[in-house]
Amino acid sequence: MSRYAVFGNPIAHSKSPLIHRAFAEQLGDSLSYEARLAPADDFAGGWAEFVVEGGLGANVTMPFKEQAYRLVDVLSPRAQRSCAVNTLLLGKNGQVYGDTTDGVGLVRDLERIQAPLAGARILVLGAGGAVRGVLEPLLAKQPVALIIANRTAAKASGLAADFADLAVDGTSLSGGSFEEIEGHFDLVINGTSASLGGELPPLPQALFTPQALAYDMMYSAEPTVFMRWAADRGARSEDGLGMLVEQAAESYFLWRHKRPDTAPVALMLRQLLM
Ligand code: ATR
């Protein structure tokens, strides 16, 4: 049987086995998918062991996305831009191919919920690995403005500079501090890890246009503090559960060349969370 896995540390909480097993069942695909713990400083060792056992591919989650990026033989262009790998695929010749599906997962989920993208004013909060991973596909949607705001302003302006060549056709791309945020936005994406600690970045009160969407890349059983803050100010809000399922579907496609239907799997996960 074809073997796949997700690597993380910790890993027990991962929803990826549930998601991929549901995809396989839906598609009548015979495969196994397990959660594997690797030592925090030795992702390479964990992956090598899995390959010896017959592993064909893997997802990679915290804290291994950068270690996986350094390990692979061939990087997809989007993984190269992201400096991160969340999907590994063993080639027939034994070469390891690395890709990242987080960004495409986010944009697919945004399209599913009809988020304003083309011609929109988009604000992205945070400038860590999670945000780096989603900038390329967001810019490809040709927003009129994409502003990155971060606690450490230099990281936001650095990211804007790194992606400046992808901001074409009238997209204005810039980065700075939360205090420098100006104007109203059609889409605000929270890519900080602040939600994890129940915290909220210091944001201007008047942030949203009338039809705005607030999207938190985190998800939880209850709406996140960012989602509640946005809803109190009139914005529609959504969490990142759909992104999780969409990035998994893209990984599945890379391995199996089949596209699962994500809607029933997202629904199943949501019901499990409640
Ligand atoms: P990830 O891979 O999840 O992006 P990361 O690279 O550590 O993790 O980045 C975490 C992001 O959340 C950063 O943008 C961080 O801001 P700094 O660059 O200033 O550290 C942001 N962040 C974390 N906790 C935060 C908080 N309490 N308030 C605002 N931003 C926070």
**17 and 141 together in one domain:** no
Q: What is the CATH number of the domain that holds 261?
A: 3.40.50.10860
Question: Range of 269's domain?
Answer: 2-100+243-273
CA-based end-to-end distance of the chain: 33
Closest residue (by CA) to atom 10 of ligand 1?
Answer: 128
Q: What is the ipTM of this complex?
A: 0.97
Kindly indicate the confidence band of residue 53, based on its pLDDT and cuts at 50, 70 and 90.
very high
Binding residues for NADP(+): 126-130, 150-155, 217, 240
- Indicate whether residue 61 lines ligand 1 (CB < 6 A): no
Binding residues: 14-16, 61, 86, 102, 126-130, 150-155, 217, 219, 240, 247
pLDDT at 169: 81
**53 and 132 together in one domain:** no
**12 and 127 together in one domain:** no
**34 and 109 together in one domain:** no
Q: Is 258 a catalytic residue?
A: no
**137 and 38 together in one domain:** no
**199 and 109 together in one domain:** yes
Ligand 1 pocket: which of 100, 179, 193 to mutate (most atoms within 8 A of CB): 193
**198 and 235 together in one domain:** yes
Q: What is the CATH number of the domain that holds 107?
A: 3.40.50.720
Could you report the per-residue pLDDT of 179-202, keeping only the tens digit for each? 999 999 999 999 999 988 889 999
Closest residue (by CA) to atom 21 of ligand 1?
Answer: 192
The average pLDDT across 43-47 equals 98
When divided into structural domains, the chain yields a total of 2
SS (H, E, C) the chain: CEEEEEEECCCCCCCHHHHHHHHHHHHCCCEEEEEEECCCCCHHHHHHHHHHCCEEEEEECCCCHHHHHHHCCEECHHHHHHCCCCEEEECCCCCEEEECCHHHHHHHHHHHCCCCCCCCEEEEECCCHHHHCCHHHHHHCCCCEEEEECCCHHHHHHHHHHCHHHCCCCCEEEEECHHHCCCCEEEEEECCCHHHHCCCCCCCCCCEEEEEEEEECCCCCCCCHHHHHHHHCCCEEECCHHHHHHHHHHHHHHHHCCCCCHHHHHHHHHHHHC
Could you report the per-residue pLDDT of 148-168, keeping only the tens digit for each? 999 999 999 999 999 999 998
